[in-house]
């Protein structure tokens, strides 16, 4: 009996000495698991909405339809059919009434909502509103500062593209400017390139910014003629030579 008790006491002692070692190993594995979980949570979702490769989030897009229901910071939703470089060469270089090439075969139909100033307007394309900056021109300012011939330029654009008028538009290579405005070439309903008409009549200067250079030769020729005859701002504004 004494020998049996001695053996039992030895077995109990052995098991009690093993338990702390097991608990120590379990505690270490728990710490490792917690560290891995924290690392995964810090990285965040890799393939979620708006994520780049590697889990980095996309920055919010700039507003593109101010004044027509598209708020700042929302992702741009491109009207159906609009892309880059809409259509091929413009009418094979044919000129309509001295106001530049007509719209290319791939141009889309849009409707004027309102004119903002001499080179910016709101269009509705495919049921969506777009704040559009005309490619290739720079009209005098009327908002941040009132420049010579700014009001006249805005009125000239309103005459060419009155509210409700149906127009034609085409893209170039760079789709947006740094303010989030859609960069487009624009034609009146009768096929006149609006930018060329504004430059030819002296309501705007030429502003060619690569890579959007599709009609640069037409606009430069129109400006040379306007300066030569001192029409519009070239004759009315001091410093315009």
Among 128, 131, 168, 181, the active-site one is: 181
Residue 181 annotated among the catalytic residues of the structure: yes
Query: What fold does the segment set 90-236 form as a domain?
Result: OB fold (Dihydrolipoamide Acetyltransferase, E2P) (2.40.50)
pLDDT value of position 241:
63
User: CA–CA separation, 156 vs 51, rounded Å?
Assistant: 44
User: Considering 131, 133, 192, 214, which one is annotated as catalytic?
Assistant: 133
Maximum mean pLDDT: which of 62-71, 95-104, 223-232 = 223-232
Instruction: Using pLDDT thresholds of 50, 70 and 90, give the confidence band for residue 179.
Output: very high
The answer to whether 111 is a known catalytic residue is no
Domains of the chain by residue range: 1-58, 90-236
Q: Which long-range contacts (CB under 8 A, 24 or more apart) does 209-217 make?
A: 209/174, 211/172, 211/173, 211/174, 212/135, 212/136, 212/172, 212/173, 212/174, 212/183, 213/172, 214/85, 214/90, 214/135, 214/172, 214/185, 215/90, 215/100, 215/101, 215/135, 215/136, 215/185, 216/136
Active site residue 155: no
Which entry of 61, 78, 85, 141 is annotated as an active-site residue?
A: 141
0.85 cut: is pTM over it?
no
Which pLDDT tens digit goes with each residue over 29-77? 666 565 655 544 443 433 333 333 333 232 333 333 433 333 333 345 4
Instruction: Kindly report the average pLDDT of the chain as a whole number.
Output: 75
pLDDT in tens, 115-155: 999 999 999 998 899 999 999 999 999 877 789 999 999 99
């Amino acid at each position: 009996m004494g020998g049996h008790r001695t053996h039992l006491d030895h077995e109990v002692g052995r098991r009690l000495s093993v338990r702390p070692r097991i608990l120590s190993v379990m505690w270490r594995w728990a710490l490792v698991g917690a560290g891995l979980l924290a690392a995964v949570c810090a990285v965040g979702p890799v393939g979620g909405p708006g994520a780049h490769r590697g889990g980095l989030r996309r920055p919010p897009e700039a507003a593109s339809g101010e004044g027509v229901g598209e708020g700042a910071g929302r992702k741009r939703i491109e009207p159906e059919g609009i892309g880059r470089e809409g259509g091929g060469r413009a009418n094979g270089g044919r000129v309509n009434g001295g106001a530049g090439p007509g719209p290319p075969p791939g141009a889309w139909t849009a409707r004027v909502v309102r004119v903002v100033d001499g080179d910016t307007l709101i269009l509705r394309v495919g049921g969506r509103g777009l704040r559009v900056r005309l490619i290739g021109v720079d009209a005098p300012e009327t908002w941040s500062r009132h420049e010579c011939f700014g009001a006249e330029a805005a009125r000239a654009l309103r005459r060419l593209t009155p509210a409700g008028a149906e127009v034609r538009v085409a893209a170039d290579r760079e789709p947006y400017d740094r303010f989030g405005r859609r960069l487009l070439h624009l034609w009146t309903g009768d096929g006149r390139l609006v930018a060329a008409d504004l430059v030819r009549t002296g309501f705007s200067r030429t502003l060619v910014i690569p890579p959007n250079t599709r009609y640069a030769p037409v606009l430069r020729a129109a400006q040379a003629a306007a300066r030569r005859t001192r029409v519009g701002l070239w004759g009315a504004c001091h410093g315009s030579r």
